[in-house]
Amino acid sequence: MVQGVYVAGAAGLPVQKRSGQSLDDMGSQVLRAALQDAAMEPEEIQAVYAGNMLADELQGQKHLGALIASAAGLRDMEALWVRAATASGAAALRVGVLAIRSGAAKAVAVVGVEKMSEGDATAALAKALDRKSEIDQGQTMVSINAGLMAQYMRAYGVTHDRFAGFAANAHQNACKTEHALFRRELSEEDINAARVIVDPIRLYDCAPVCDGAAAVILSAEPRTKDAVSIAASSVACEEFVVERRPEPLRLRASELSCRRAYREAGLDAGDMDLFELHDAFSIMACLSLEACGFAERGRGWQLAAEGEIGPNGRIPIATMGGLKARGHPIGATALYQIYEIRQQLLGQAGPNQVPNARTALTQSIGGAGTTLITHILQRA
């Protein structure tokens, strides 16, 4: 019988520019906060897994797992730095889940941390693409996603303004989220009038550069009667170079990862009460909804345009701002998602609460739809 995995505690720092804090300061601070939330002592933790993408590029720092564990006073234990490009936090979470499931550990800490405000984050992020076929041709994550958005608009006869509901929903939810970066509403008119970054992507189609840290404590046993379990964990990869994919708009890795997670949990899309997806770009939110079974291909934008992604909609997304408005500090993003989902499933999300939420889907994307990591959480 597979060992169950429970989220015993979670914490997240406010997403903002943190010029006065080092990575180990941020990571150790949020790890201690998660331990306090779990009512656990440091000596109860048997491993620390740190998700981070850019530390060696932007801060000249490697070996994050041991660095953060040491700064938090956790020594003489397993401590690893886990990476999967822009899905690094979710990869660290999966390693933690597997450690508990296998019986290798009874309790582990998973920490995500990123400081993107130092150095050239755009160039560093582009290294998640193929060097010869994409980077050396001048491509960035923004231009790749702009190409996908343009292709989608041509294929399905959709204009840019039909995507505005994604950013509007994210900002509306972030207004009520204390740890969010952008706590102000945007009208669809504001979104559609924003400056073009790479046509057709405009300013509010993109997640911001920011700093943040979040952590979760995973345990083999529920520590309270109101527990949240991780019912499924799955990963799938796609052809690395976007232009070589037979169907670039399909997000095949998302389909596969999600399908496997549904099967593992014995659930399907209709059982999900909310979906914290990887809305680094509006087009990715749209494609993810389609890939995970919430809309037919070419129809994901309709969920946003018709108001079905809000807290009371058919499939709430970005319930506390998502990557777009809470912020996307790369290595920490997936852990913020778990922190927020746990609040939702325990009925602690305040004005952002999704009614009667008991089951949630979360997905992180590494690269340009290359690596997809899916988790399903349930109120136990």
Give the whole-angstrom CA distance, residue 341 versus residue 30.
17
CB 377 within 8 A of CB 360: yes
- Angle of the 282-291 helix axis to the 141-156 helix axis, nearest 10: 60
Give the whole-angstrom CA distance, residue 278 versus residue 364.
5
CA neighbor of 139 nearest in space, from 152, 160, 122: 122
The answer to whether residue 303 is domain-embedded is no
User: What is the pLDDT, as a whole number, of residue 30?
Assistant: 99
User: What is the pLDDT, as a whole number, of residue 10?
Assistant: 98
SS3 string, 100-142, reads HHHCCCCEEEEEEEEECCCCCHHHHHHCCCCCCCCHHHCCCHH
User: What is the pLDDT, as a whole number, of residue 19?
Assistant: 87
CB 43 within 8 A of CB 248: no
CB 42 within 8 A of CB 69: no
Give the whole-angstrom CA distance, residue 98 versus residue 19.
34
Q: Enumerate residues 6+ apart whose C-beta is below 8 A from 174.
A: 180, 181, 182, 183, 184, 320, 321, 322, 325, 326
The answer to whether residue 377 is domain-embedded is no
Give the CATH number of the domain where residue 19 resides: 3.40.47.10
Tens digit of pLDDT for each residue in 208-258? 999 999 999 999 999 888 899 999 999 999 999 999 999 999 999 999 999
The answer to whether residue 299 is domain-embedded is no
The structural domain count of the chain equals 1
Give the whole-angstrom CA distance, residue 87 versus residue 84.
5
User: What is the pLDDT, as a whole number, of residue 1?
Assistant: 62
CA neighbor of 35 nearest in space, from 217, 213, 214: 217
With 0.95 as the threshold, say if the pTM is over it: yes
Q: Could you tell me the mean pLDDT of each successive run of 10 residues in the chain, 380 residues long? A: 90 94 98 98 98 98 98 95 99 99 98 96 96 97 98 98 98 98 96 98 97 99 92 98 97 98 98 99 99 99 98 98 98 99 98 98 98 97
Residue 118 to residues 23, 58, 303, Cα–Cα distance (Å)? 11, 6, 36
User: What is the pLDDT, as a whole number, of residue 225?
Assistant: 83
Torsion angles phi and psi, residue 207, rounded to 5: -75, 150
The answer to whether residue 334 is domain-embedded is no
CA neighbor of 288 nearest in space, from 374, 351, 175, 182: 374
The answer to whether residue 80 is domain-embedded is yes
Give the whole-angstrom CA distance, residue 229 versus residue 99.
15
Query: Can you tell me which residue has the tokens 């997000």?
Result: 251
The answer to whether residue 238 is domain-embedded is no
User: What is the pLDDT, as a whole number, of residue 223?
Assistant: 87
The answer to whether residue 41 is domain-embedded is yes
Peptide bond before 200: cis, by omega within 30 degrees of 0? yes
CB 280 within 8 A of CB 86: yes
Burial class from Cβ neighbours inside 10 Å (0-12, 13-18, 19+) for residue 15 reads buried
Give the whole-angstrom CA distance, residue 133 versus residue 130.
6
The answer to whether residue 189 is domain-embedded is no
Q: What's the distance, CA 178 to chain centroid?
A: 18
Range(s) of the domain holding residue 27: 6-119+209-219
DSSP-assigned beta bridge partners for residue 237:
371
Give the whole-angstrom CA distance, residue 331 versus residue 54.
8
Give the whole-angstrom CA distance, residue 200 versus residue 145.
9
